[in-house]
Amino acid sequence: MTVTIRPATPADLALIADLIRALADYEKLAHEVRFDEGVLGAKLFGQRPYAEVLIGEIDGTAQGFALFFHNFSTFEGKPGIYLEDLFVRPEARGSGLGKSLLARLAALALERDCARLEWSVLDWNTPAIGFYQALGARLMDEWTVMRMDGPALAQLGAAQH
């Protein structure tokens, strides 16, 4: 069995869209997937890419992905990498692909002089939490994620004018 991690290309757009949908199904959030594939492609591979994607393959077949982007730590004065999504198809779990994707992200963080690698995990996803902790990640219990979207985002944005 050969595990390969490679950067995604525009030719991978349909694959990335499929993997995002598979992740949403796993997380019981398929009803929240609203992206337009053309817009997704423009945001990932257009003139100003907003995120990057790594494709994980086993024996040449894509079985997972990691979608990430840079954030910035003011306290460290350095960038970080934020892992938005990590997914390995159920049939490929236990193959080492998830660890290989995270290891490649850690290597990229070091190559790019980043202070840290961060991500969020659903609190009910105990297999993932255990996997991450076994790799040395720690829970940030003192932090709570905040989000503004939809009408609240539009309303606050309109208040600027």
Active-site residue (options: 26, 50, 82, 132): 132
Count of CB atoms situated within 10 Å of the CB of 30: 12
Helices (H), the chain: 13-26, 37-45, 97-111, 126-134, 150-159
Which strands, in side-by-side order, build the sheet including 52-58? 3-7, 52-58, 61-73, 78-88, 117-119
Can 50 be counted among the known catalytic residues?
A: no
Asked whether the beta carbons of 99 and 135 are under 8 A apart, the reply is: yes
Cβ atoms of 104 and 83 within 8 Å: the answer is no
Catalytic residues: 132
